[in-house]
Amino acid sequence: MSQVVTKHPYITQDERISGGSPIITGTRTRVVDIVIEYEYLGRTADEIINSHPHLTLAQIHDALSYYYEHQGDIDQEIGRREEKINDLRKQYQSR
C-alpha cells in the first residue's frame, strides 16, 4: 500500500507510522531520533543502544547510514521541529 522499500535493510517508511518519517523496521523508533541522539547530543552507538535496548548495533548503524544518504531531508525535518518548539515556547512561556 503506502510502504516504501529502501536499500537499507533496517529502515522503512510507512505513512501510517510516524507520519511517514523513516523508522527502524519493526519499531516506531524514527531515524531522526537516532540522529538527534548521535549528532546533537554526542551519544555513541553503544550509548544509544543502552537507551533503546530493543535495537541492535546493526540497526543503529543502518539508521545513521540512511541519515548520511538523506541528510538534507532529515536536517530539514529537524529544522521544522526546532521551529515548532520555538513557536510553542513563545506561545507558552514558562513561569
Helix (H, G, I), strand (E, B) or coil at 24: strand
Q: What is the pLDDT of residues 21-50, one digit of tens each?
A: 999 999 999 999 999 999 999 999 999 999
What is the grid cell recorded at 27? 519499531
On the CB side of 44, how many CA atoms lie within 13 Å of its CA? 3
The residues, ordered by sequence, that sit 6+ positions from 17 with a Cβ below 8 Å of its Cβ are 23, 28
Over range 12-24, report the average pLDDT: 92
Domains of the chain (ranges; CATH) run 3-91 (1.10.10.10)
| Bridge partners, residue 13, by sequence | 4
pLDDT band of residue 3 (cuts 50, 70, 90) is low
Inter-residue contact 32 to 78 (CB < 8 Å): yes
pTM for the complete prediction?
A: 0.82
